[in-house]
Amino acid sequence: MFKKILIANRGEIACRVITTARRMGIATVAVYSEADKDARHVELADEAVLLGPAPSRESYLVADKIIAACKATGAQALHPGYGFLSENEAFAKRCEDEGIVFIGPKHYSIAAMGDKIASKKLANEARVSTIPGWNDAIDTPEQAVEIARGIGYPVMIKASAGGGGKGLRVAHNDKEAFDGFSACRNEARNSFGDDRVFIEKFVVEPRHIEIQVLGDAHGNVVYLGERECSIQRRHQKVIEEAPSPFISDATRLAMGEQAVALAKAVRYQSAGTVEFVVGKDQDFYFLEMNTRLQVEHPVTECITGLDLVEQMIRVAAGEPLSFAQAEVKREGWAIECRINAEDPFRSFLPSTGRLVRFRAPQATLQQGSVTLSGPAYAGEGYGGVRVDTGVAEGGEIPMFYDSMIAKLIVHGRTRAEAIARMRAALNAFVIRGISSNIPFQAALLAHPKFVSGDFNTGFIAEHYGKGFKAEDVPHDDPLFLVALAAFVRRKARERAAGISGQLPGHEVAHKNELVVVQLGAQGQHLFHPVELSDFDAQAGTLEVRVAGRVYAIRSHTPLGDILMTGECNGQPFSAQIERSASRQPLALKVAHNGTQITALVLLPRAAELFRLMPHKAPPDTSKFLLSPMPGLLVDVAVQPGQKVLAGEKLAVIEAMKMENILVAQQDGVVKEVRAQRGESLAVDQAILAFE
């Protein structure tokens, strides 16, 4: 077994590998860019080596620097994680030539299966069912349009070296094929250093289901069940689960055997994933093979009890698999939500900056441990919550890398139990300083189609095609949030009443009749009269009556703590409550199950007066192009005095490895360019002014 390994990656996956290596008694070496000098993976590792500047092409993608770090620290092996150089055939071969063990498949397997064009040709030769398409690299956008017409729209345009949603577009017409080809090439060149692009038929209403395989150097290959990855937004996975609620045991067996046969054909060693698109009749077609560890590997670990990182390390050290196919377990149901630094209410634009608050829900499952045993699985405590992250409170989310903050994983006896556990865990996940997609995740988990398992890869586009709005988050009892606001306000008045030195005759008085004013847009507020009774500060209890409903709340959460836990009518809850700094200094923001309200809790007379207050309209910004996110301004496509039409490209912003094209919302004339190419933009910074 190795004594020391280097992790050629960053963030969550680097921390994940370090955890398992530490449990195995293996020393670890982290590498980092200048932007990551204070990152969590650097702190966790036994040693750390600086690679270079923040851009990945000058740090994490520079093979020479990583090899040099291995030699300087005496690392015998290297784990590439996912992304960056994990599926780079030349890098894997270079490691082998330099006497460094690559903890992943051999270079010839990566060459055969890691390249999407080569893998599809190989699958065809092996008589594996594949989707119709053009399997050779395409040179020009005009050629891409011609090929797309021949295949028939819709088509999927893919970068050969792509992954994680980068370098991938779906085109429904000639214009989308032309523009999508150019965008795919640019993203692939910037992210992977390989701009080859190919096209295939896009299967309507498909399921994305993948099979986890594991092979060793002794010819043994097993499959560890499937993962359902159909909940995707712009081809990037949002929620993953294992097993799939869709396929039958017969389909599972057939897909597993085909995945194993494919892996054996390329002498696959290590963990890998064979991806399939599955039709509504359970016919399946090979898509590609990811010759690395997947982001969503924890759900497989939960239901099998295996540590996939440990298995990769043991295989790389030459050990045979310690179990056969018949011994692979499948117990319970696991779901993973990717918690990303993006604003779901602003078209999911990236959100970078400092994590002012970061408190993950309490984890009862630990990564890198046997997850089907231990106290979390005893009696009523079966299953639990796991958090995989590479950040900590006070840390920075930089614009140079992926937007993922953490992975939240739950395991339960059934799918319904896992969904309920995930909703509770999302309620308890506190993130401040940047925006996150937690409200969107909560909405997805509550959607009837998701709950019933009736969905495909077009689910998000179908139900949230016009964007995601606050009203898209259903809540089974919205008055519960009103009751929580009243509870917190009553508790605050109790504390205020105890302050000494109050002016006689003007002391803070307790009132059992209040009005919760739920603030709405354009001054459309909702007024909720509430009655309070049975307040007991020591017991932390209060009964709130609103609209004929009674909420008996018990909570000992201190005032000022964002995360509030307790019981309501005997049922446990977690909610997030804090002062609203933006709209009203005395207002409370209350969030639960993805729904958030901003409310003022007033005495009845004060509520009457507030009702008479005029609405202050926000400033008119219609004559400006504002940056919707922090990022790098890579192009300004217009000049002062130029006439622009609605839909015309105005500027391009790069953030978190993705190009974001800003277009004109209406016809107009450019008056002034206020930001220059190469400038780092803040959110809502003016780029252009119009006449």
SS (H, E, C) 320-339: CCCCCHHHCCCCCEEEEEEE
Q: Amino acid identity, residue 149?
A: R
Task: Give pLDDT, residue 383.
Answer: 81
Residue range 624-690, CATH number: 2.40.50.100
For 562-588, the pLDDT digits (tens) are: 999 999 999 999 999 999 866 677 899
Prediction pTM value: 0.83
> Percent of the chain, pLDDT > 70?
97
110 vs 383, more confident:
110
- pLDDT bin (cut points 50, 70, 90) of residue 657 is low
CATH class, range 479-497+510-611: alpha beta
Give percent of the chain with pLDDT exceeding 90.
69
The answer to whether the CB of 57 falls within 8 A of the CB of 85 is: no
Taking 90 as the threshold, does the pLDDT of residue 13 lie above it?
yes
Fold for domain 4-103? Rossmann fold (3.40.50)
Tell me how many helices (H) and strands (E) the chain has. Answer: 17, 39
Structure tokens at 647: 């839909």
CATH of domain 132-201: 3.30.1490.20
Please tell me the predicted confidence (pLDDT) of residue 119: 81
Of these residues, 226, 241, 275, 288, which one is catalytic?
288
The string over 254-287, giving b where at least 16 C-beta atoms fall within 10 Å of a residue's C-beta and e elsewhere, is ebbebbbebbebbebbbbbbbbbbbeeebebbbb
Is 288 among the catalytic positions? yes
| Residue 375 pLDDT grade (very low, low, confident, very high; cuts 50, 70, 90) | low
Instruction: At 288, list the tokens.
Output: 């590609």
Say if residues 336 and 407 touch (Cβ distance below 8 Å). yes
Note the pLDDT tens digit of each residue in 631-652. 889 999 999 999 999 888 999 9
Instruction: Report domain extents, the chain.
Output: 4-103, 132-201, 207-463, 479-497+510-611, 624-690
The yes-or-no answer to whether 132-201 and 207-463 have a common fold is no
Average pLDDT, the chain: 91
Distance CA 449, CA 444 (A): 9
| pLDDT band per the 50, 70, 90 thresholds, residue 107 | very high
Q: Under a CB-based contact definition with an 8 Å cutoff, are residues 296 and 227 in contact?
A: yes
Nearest CA to 301 among 224, 210, 390?
224
Residues in the chain: 691
Which stretch of 22-26, 166-170, 205-209, 440-444 has the lowest confidence by average pLDDT? 166-170
d(C-alpha 233, C-alpha 658), whole Å: 14
Q: Could you read off the pLDDT of 233-273 as tens digits, one per residue? A: 988 999 999 999 999 999 999 999 999 999 999 999 999 99
- Give mean pLDDT, residues 408-432: 96
pLDDT band, very low/low/confident/very high, at 374 (cuts 50, 70, 90): low
From 288, 360, 337, 324, select the one nearest 130 (Cα to Cα).
288
- Looking at domain 207-463, which CATH architecture does it have? 2-Layer Sandwich (3.30)
- Report yes or no: 459 and 448 within 8 Å, Cβ to Cβ: no
